[in-house]
């Protein structure tokens, strides 16, 4: 560790910063004008890498590479315009939760499209013609392509600034970013403006992706990896601010570079390998910025939060009919091992469904009554699952101990992450929770010595007396029923009312003495804790746990379950989780392209059935009643 190493890494950090900036800036621009958080932005970047790869290898030479980069940016820009016209235009007025889900559906569709077109293998592009060499800097070699990238970031920033201040389109964009209502008043064709901005943002993502092919292979996991980083940069820089995006990109890249330069440091009593702490560092930067400036370094507080689509009915205690119905379902579930004696697989599916119910019900607890749209519920599932599995792996803990630890580990995580999350609302909260989930995932993935890395933890089997399938099924049923019962109880108690009060009208709630942040923080912790039970059960049900099973897609599965059932009913998550788990098991697994299928289901839900199954049925009954 010496000064030269630091300076070298700092320079190197600037080239990473350019990459981060190019992904984040488009996301930020699009949000500034349209108020849509485009989760598919990472997918556009990924498509950029694939398209540039194809052009560069098909055409070859300098034209193929450099021309390919330009062509890619244009193609991805056009794709962005098409997305805006066909999909986003229909959902600008929808609740933001639906917007996020719709763009996530695109992630799924594009991922399968890339799989279909380019196949599952990683594709390594050619090196940049003209920039294959390297120069010597402080006794180390720095590739000239990296120097080129260092220049690209600020150059794009400068160009964007000029475009925004000098052109009519740019001035409109800035006006729209500052005051959305004003655009209408100016008599501007808003549709054109939005399409243009979306195309521009997509173009920047495509450019960012295309520039990477000389350094890294094109791969199918890029979309979600990149969107996680982009979220952190945008949140730190301030949504809608392009200079903020660059400042944040440099800050984060430099902090990471510093960690790498520090390497392994001996503190006498213990040693710390800082180069394995890059993700933790990223998290810390974000945390510090959000504590001191909740809307990012150069961001501004956004106007009023959009209200929920449909007004919610007051909570009514269960009617006798509902109670009887619930008991019948419970009896059927208890009798299941007898009913399904012939087909042992039914119990496996039954366990999956019960775990899904616990997962979805805990998510619904904060999403519905709490109004906090968490896009990272997988974090608490993962903490529970890994908490239990690691106790078994390292301490040979009996199942009872491991299962008891699962909710506690998840609770710790939820208390920590929730403390930050409740300070934000709306899309900020959604992005922050997603970023936290990415951090848990990455930590599990990176910390190989503890967690087994991508292989996960194996051999987590239930111990006596639960080693038989039916016994474990009964355990799962008991815990799931207990969890659902507790959640229901909490919602009818003063605490649940206070949660809803804080959601309905934070100002009014504070004005009658409620500490809304604290209430929502505790709710977040309770949800995380219950979700941890689901995670623990999952680890034992499968006998193993791997990073793949706690990735973003699990968070999104949870959202789909909740919306499928209906956000505004208590039984919604239960119905939604059951339907989803059975569907996923039967239909989704029967095709290689189940992601695209799931994406289609989500789009259908968002565009056609926003109230979900239970909500839709309730409305149907209400209409019948009114008619009779």
Q: Which residues bind another protein (CB under 8 A)?
A: 311-315, 317, 489-490, 492-498, 500-501, 503-505, 507-515, 519, 522
Give the residue with the Cβ less far from another protein, 16 or 569: 569
Closest-CA residue to 448 (of 307, 273, 302, 601): 273
Give the residue with the Cβ less far from another protein, 127 or 300: 300
Smallest gap from Cβ 349 to another protein, in A, equals 33
CB atoms under 10 Å from CB of 269, counted, come to 5
Integer-rounded Cα Rg, in Å, for the chain is: 25
| Residue 491, C-beta contacts closer than 8 angstroms, at least 6 positions apart | 315, 365, 369, 499, 570
CB 506 within 8 A of CB 307: no
Smallest gap from Cβ 136 to another protein, in A, equals 52
CB 61 within 8 A of CB 225: no
As beta bridge partners, residue 583 has none
Cα(72)–Cα(50) distance, rounded to whole angstroms?
A: 9
Smallest gap from Cβ 421 to another protein, in A, equals 19
As beta bridge partners, residue 140 has 137
Smallest gap from Cβ 329 to another protein, in A, equals 22
Smallest gap from Cβ 181 to another protein, in A, equals 17
CB atoms under 10 Å from CB of 613, counted, come to 20
Smallest gap from Cβ 502 to another protein, in A, equals 9
Give the residue with the Cβ less far from another protein, 115 or 514: 514
Which contiguous run of DSSP H or E holds residue 142?
strand 140-143
Determine the 3-state secondary structure of 540 from DSSP: helix
Cα(180)–Cα(165) distance, rounded to whole angstroms?
A: 18
Quickly list H helices, 543-571: 552-565
Cα(16)–Cα(228) distance, rounded to whole angstroms?
A: 15
Smallest gap from Cβ 293 to another protein, in A, equals 17
Smallest gap from Cβ 371 to another protein, in A, equals 10
Residue corresponding to tokens 């499928």: 564
Smallest gap from Cβ 313 to another protein, in A, equals 7
Smallest gap from Cβ 487 to another protein, in A, equals 10
Give the residue with the Cβ less far from another protein, 364 or 595: 364
Smallest gap from Cβ 317 to another protein, in A, equals 7
Give the residue with the Cβ less far from another protein, 293 or 589: 293
Smallest gap from Cβ 494 to another protein, in A, equals 5
Neighbouring C-alpha atoms within 13 Å toward the C-beta of 378? 28
As beta bridge partners, residue 266 has 271
Smallest gap from Cβ 82 to another protein, in A, equals 38
- Both structure tokens of 159: 């160009």
Give the residue with the Cβ less far from another protein, 170 or 506: 506
Cα(240)–Cα(158) distance, rounded to whole angstroms?
A: 16
Smallest gap from Cβ 445 to another protein, in A, equals 36
Q: What is the 3-state secondary structure (H, E, C) of 427-466?
A: HHHHHHHHHHHHHHHHHHHHCHHHHCHHHCEECCCCCCCC
Q: What is the 3-state secondary structure (H, E, C) of 9-46?
A: HHHHHHHHHHHHHHHHHHHHHHHHHHCCCCCCHHHHHH
Q: What is the DSSP string of 156-203?
A: HHHHHHHHHHHSHHHHHHHHHHH-HHHHHHTT--HHHHHHHHHHHHHH
CB 603 within 8 A of CB 560: no
- DSSP symbol at 63: I
Give the residue with the Cβ less far from another protein, 396 or 512: 512
Give the residue with the Cβ less far from another protein, 377 or 500: 500
CB atoms under 10 Å from CB of 305, counted, come to 12
Cα(18)–Cα(237) distance, rounded to whole angstroms?
A: 14
Give the residue with the Cβ less far from another protein, 17 or 533: 533
As beta bridge partners, residue 272 has 265
Give the residue with the Cβ less far from another protein, 268 or 494: 494
- Both structure tokens of 519: 């209430």
Smallest gap from Cβ 233 to another protein, in A, equals 28
Give the residue with the Cβ less far from another protein, 283 or 490: 490
Give the residue with the Cβ less far from another protein, 459 or 494: 494
Give the residue with the Cβ less far from another protein, 139 or 314: 314
- Both structure tokens of 625: 């009643």
Give the residue with the Cβ less far from another protein, 127 or 174: 174
Give the residue with the Cβ less far from another protein, 141 or 489: 489
| Residue 93, C-beta contacts closer than 8 angstroms, at least 6 positions apart | none
Q: Is the peptide bond before 465 cis (omega within 30 degrees of 0)?
A: yes
Cα(437)–Cα(193) distance, rounded to whole angstroms?
A: 34
């Amino acid at each position: 560790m010496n000064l030269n190493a630091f300076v070298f890494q700092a320079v190197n950090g600037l080239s990473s910063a350019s990459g981060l900036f190019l992904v984040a800036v488009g996301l930020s621009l699009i949000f500034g004008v349209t108020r849509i958080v485009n989760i598919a932005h990472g997918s556009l970047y990924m498509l950029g890498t694939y398209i540039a790869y194809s052009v560069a290898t098909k055409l070859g030479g300098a034209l193929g590479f450099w021309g390919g980069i330009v062509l890619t940016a244009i193609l991805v820009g056009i794709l962005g315009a098409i997305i805006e016209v066909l999909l986003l235009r229909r959902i600008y007025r929808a609740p933001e939760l639906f917007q996020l889900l719709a763009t996530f559906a695109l992630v799924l569709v594009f991922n399968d499209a890339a799989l279909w077109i380019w196949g599952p293998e990683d594709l390594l592009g050619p090196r940049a013609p003209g920039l294959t060499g390297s120069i010597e800097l402080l006794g180390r070699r720095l590739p000239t392509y990296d120097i080129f990238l260092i220049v690209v970031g600020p150059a794009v920033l400068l160009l964007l600034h000029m475009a925004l201040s000098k052109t009519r389109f740019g001035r409109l964009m800035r006006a729209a970013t500052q005051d959305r209502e004003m655009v209408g008043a100016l008599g501007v064709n808003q549709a054109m403006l939005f399409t243009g901005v979306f195309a521009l943002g997509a173009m920047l993502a495509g450019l960012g992706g295309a520039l990477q092919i000389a350094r890294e292979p094109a791969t199918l996991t890029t979309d979600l990896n990149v969107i996680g980083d982009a979220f952190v940069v945008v949140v730190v820089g301030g949504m809608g601010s392009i200079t903020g995006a660059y400042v944040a990109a440099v800050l984060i890249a430099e902090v990471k570079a510093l960690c790498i330069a520090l390497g392994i440091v001996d503190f006498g009593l213990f040693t710390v390998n800082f180069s394995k702490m890059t993700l933790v560092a990223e998290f810390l930067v974000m945390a510090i910025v959000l504590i001191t400036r909740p809307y990012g370094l150069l961001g501004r507080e956004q106007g009023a939060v959009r209200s929920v689509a449909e007004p919610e009915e007051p909570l009514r205690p269960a009617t006798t009919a509902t109670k009887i119905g619930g008991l019948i379902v419970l009896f059927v579930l208890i009798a299941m091992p007898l009913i399904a004696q012939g087909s042992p697989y039914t119990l496996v599916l039954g366990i999956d469904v019960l775990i899904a119910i616990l997962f979805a019900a805990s998510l619904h607890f904060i999403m519905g009554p709490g109004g906090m749209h968490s896009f990272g519920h997988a974090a608490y599932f993962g903490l529970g699952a890994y908490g239990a599995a690691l106790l078994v792996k390292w301490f040979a803990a009996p199942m009872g101990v491991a299962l008891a630890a699962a909710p506690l580990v998840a609770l710790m995580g939820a208390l920590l992450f929730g403390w930050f999350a409740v300070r934000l609302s709306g899309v900020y909260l959604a992005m922050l929770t997603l970023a936290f989930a990415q951090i848990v995932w990455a930590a599990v993935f990176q910390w190989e010595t503890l967690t087994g890395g991508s292989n996960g933890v194996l051999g987590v089997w239930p111990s006596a007396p639960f080693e038989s399938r039916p016994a474990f099924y009964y355990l799962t049923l008991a815990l799931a029923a207990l969890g659902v019962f507790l959640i229901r109880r909490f919602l009818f108690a003063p605490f649940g009312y206070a949660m809803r009060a804080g959601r309905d009208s934070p100002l009014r709630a504070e004005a009658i003495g409620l500490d809304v942040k604290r209430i929502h923080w505790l709710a977040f912790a309770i949800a995380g804790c219950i979700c941890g039970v689901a995670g623990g059960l999952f680890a034992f049900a499968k006998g193993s746990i791997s990073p793949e099973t706690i990735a973003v897609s699990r968070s999104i599965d949870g959202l789909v379950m909740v919306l499928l059932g209906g956000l505004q009913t208590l039984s919604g998550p239960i119905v939604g989780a059951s339907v989803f788990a059975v569907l996923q098991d039967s239909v989704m697994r029967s095709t290689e392209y189940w992601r695209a299928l799931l994406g289609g289901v989500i789009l259908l839900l968002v565009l056609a059935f926003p109230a979900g199954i239970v909500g839709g049925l309730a409305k149907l009954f209400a209409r019948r009643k009114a008619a009779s």
